[in-house]
Amino acid sequence: MSQNLSEQEIIRRDKLKALEAAGIQAYPAPLYPVTHYSEDIKSGFTEENKDDFADVTLAGRVMSINDKGKVFFIKIQDSKGIIQLYVKRDEICPEEDKTFWTLVIKGLDLGDFLGVKGFVFITKTGETSIHAKEITLLAKSLKPLPVVKRDESGHVFDAVSDPEFRYRQRYADLVINPDVKDTFIKRTKIINTIREYLNAQGALEVDTPVLQAIPGGAAARPFITHHNALDVPFYLRIANELYLKRLIVGGFDWVYEFSRNFRNEGMDRTHNPEFTVLEWYTAYKDYIWMMEITEQLMEKLAIAVHGTTEVPLGDKIISFKAPFKRISIFDAIKENTGIDISNMDEAGLREVCKELKIEVAPNIGKGKLIDEIFGETSEHTYTQPTFIIDYPVEMSPLTKKHRSKAGLVERFELMINGKEVANAYSELNDPVDQRERFEEQSKLMERGDDEAMFIDQDFLRALEYGMPPTSGIGIGIDRLVMMLTNQVSIQDVLLFPQMRPEKQD
């Protein structure tokens, strides 16, 4: 297939041909023994310890070139930052052969990868730099990077912000916008902190199936595929809940999984069809215990990322200091609308939706109606971490009935900055009650609710063997990372967010 090349791309390809003709490898063997990194050198070098930096080897991408004739000042970017190279022609090339200087150094393009060996010194302008004694071309860049503006210290002050470019070409976005890389480093730190916390509590990390015969554990529209060998339909998981509960039945006391889930639904600033959820289930615990442990974890995460429980998010400061506010879903709706819906039937709820100008589908039941009312009128009002508790039974097919409040279940959702971050239950472990709840969901499916739950007969069989009292939680990792890294879009915390296929010329 032919390529439509820009003038710059043609020039770079011509340089590549010239290198090949001269016998200079543009893509040599991969082993290059790096001994030091840019930021470690810049933070650790002094005149007193310069002997420790008399022989260093670095590698990185060329980000700026200053041609002074027989001397080049080149800035390269490695995985930790940017550092300047001082490259003098007579020290790099023998007098009788300037081919390398002409084709490699003078032929350098932004984006090329270089290896450098030399010693560290401080220039007359006070910049810690590498005096190059040997330069190796490690990879030729054939496509120009977008131009960004940097100050004298290398910090970007006019970043490329076009989301179409940034999300579709994340590899280039990471190179030219250093704050993007920092977000994903923090994401990994958040996940590692959670993992260390749970492991220290005695939890066991497990893996459960992504391809499932029945998409259970949540009310959501699944992606469907086909298993050729078995000749049956399979679903990408919408949740891993029912498999983790099977493990509680099997005798594990506390299991968790960072689950990659898929839901065939809308996309916006807080939704992506492929997303990461942490779920854990703990035997002999309830939702009150789960609220307390969740507060502890959130506080720990804020301190791990920011060193404090006060976290900036846009123009707000979110306090992750425990304890968090707790309010029932009915009281939350009443607090925000003045309407008490706690004793209303489906017809009454539809009238409330009409009064509040909330459009609802005719095929959804009581639970979905309450969910719509809360989502439209109340959810966005809870900026500081708040537990919305004690949901109606119709909204929670997998949750244990409340021990003292008829018609409710022991469930909470954690709201932060107006969005749900976690969902937790005292888990339903009565197999008879669970079967009846599944059958109610089946009736909703017959009415046309394509998010109603399937009946999972194998899970019911597992419950019939007996599951101890259990508490479980699901935490949306992507949304949590958004809030802890001050991002407004879920696409900014996903390395490769879902997008429409790119149109080809």
Binding residues for Mg(2+): 413, 420
Structure tokens that stand for 410 in this block: 């022991």
Q: Which helix (H) or strand (E) holds 472?
A: strand 470-476
Nearest to 286 by CA among 133, 380, 215, 389: 389
Nearest to 368 by CA among 351, 390, 387, 392: 392
User: Long-range CB contacts (< 8 A, 24+ apart) of 204-208?
Assistant: 204/252, 204/254, 204/255, 204/256, 205/255, 205/256, 205/257, 205/258, 206/244, 206/247, 206/252, 206/255, 206/256, 206/257, 207/257, 208/237, 208/240, 208/243, 208/244, 208/257, 208/259
Strand 224-227 relative to strand 211-212, pairing: unpaired
Binding residues: 413, 420
Cβ pair 244, 472 in contact under 8 A: yes
Residue 86 vs residues 33, 51, 322, 455, 499: alpha-carbon distances, Å: 20, 18, 52, 69, 42
Cβ pair 473, 294 in contact under 8 A: yes
- Listed in sequence order, the DSSP H helices in 86-177 are 89-92, 99-100, 163-168, 170-176
Tell me 397's DSSP state: T
489: left (phi over 0), alpha (psi -120 to 50) or beta: beta
Structure tokens that stand for 306 in this block: 């920011």
Nearest to 137 by CA among 172, 99, 97, 170: 99
Tell me 326's DSSP state: E
Cβ pair 248, 281 in contact under 8 A: yes
Give me the half-sphere count of Cα atoms (radius 13 Å) on the Cβ side of residue 112: 28
Structure tokens that stand for 89 in this block: 């022609």
As a whole number of angstroms, the distance between CA 313 and CA 339 comes to 31
Dihedral sign for Cα 10, 12, 18, 19, please: negative
Structure tokens that stand for 142 in this block: 């054939």
As a whole number of angstroms, the distance between CA 71 and CA 91 comes to 10
